[in-house]
Amino acid sequence: MTKISVITVSLNAVDCIEEAILSVVNQTYKNIEFILIDGESTDGTLDVINNYHDDINYLVSESDSGLYQAMNKGVQAATGDFIYFLNSDDFFFDENVISDVVQVIEKNQSVELVYGDVLLKKEKQLVRQQQVPVLTRKTLCRYGFCHQALFAKRETLLRLGGFIETYRIVADGDLLARALADGATSLHVDRDIATISLDGLSNTTNWREEKRQQLQSNYTRWELFLWRKLPGIIGRK
């Protein structure tokens, strides 16, 4: 029976962490390992977390160098077949998400990356964001990708060495690019995976320079021109 590790990283998330936790706890699929990595929150987040102590399989609260060190801690602690990262201000779309994804995983056992679509939330507005139907280095380079749509095989993440911790907000895209370059197979599931907040770090930080560095490290100049710049010049989607 496929085991799913859900990893949530938190830091001073008292206003939203409970909704994230409940969306995991209320999943109909029960072979879930829930891992929570907290960065020494001081705002009452840990009080909320402790209310669900019996539902959390692994909990640590300690200082870290940033988001991706915390996520790497979660990967190292995980024992599931596949890993999903649920941000502290996001939540699963409904209680059957993991059950539905596991059915796809078990029918396609050679696939390493299984992904769906997401809903973007800003204040009271929701916008559905469909991910590319076929995930390749080209489509990732051209359109980007929302990591909250993705279930990744744990062995794949470990094989690639996890996230590069010097990045502040683009290491998830970097890891996915490296996975695809390494030959990781992927499959799109036609269903919504999570509702995600647009008020997080990636929307409050100037990430353009990091994004440029990440792209240059994963694609050749010709690929960047052909897959990103040229479509923009000629207006091709």
Task: Kindly give, in sequence order, each residue whose CB lies less than 8 Å from that of residue 94, ignoring residues fewer than 6 positions away.
Answer: 192
For 6, 78, 98, the CA distances from 154, given in Å and listed in that order, are: 11, 8, 16
39 near 66, Cβ under 8 Å? no
DSSP code at position 227:
I
Q: What is the pLDDT of residue 230?
A: 85
Note if the pTM is more than 0.75: yes
Structural domain 4-232, CATH architecture: Alpha-Beta Complex (3.90)
**Which helix (H) or strand (E) covers residue 158, if one does?**
helix 154-159
Residue boundaries of the structural domains of the chain: 4-232
Per-residue pLDDT at 210: 94
The C-alpha atoms of residue 234 and residue 237 are separated, in whole angstroms, by 9
Q: What percent of the chain has pLDDT over 90?
A: 89
Give the chain's length. 237
Write the pLDDT tens digit of every residue in 87-135: 999 999 999 999 999 999 999 999 999 999 999 987 778 899 999 999 9
Q: How far apart are CA 46 and CA 13, in angstroms?
A: 9
pLDDT at residue 233, rounded to an integer:
77
User: What's the average model confidence in pLDDT over 71-91?
Assistant: 98
Nearby residues of 152 by Cβ (< 8 Å), 6 or more positions away: 82, 83, 84, 112, 113, 179
Predicted confidence at residue 234, as pLDDT, reads 72
pLDDT tens digit string along 199-224?
755 555 568 899 999 999 999 999 99
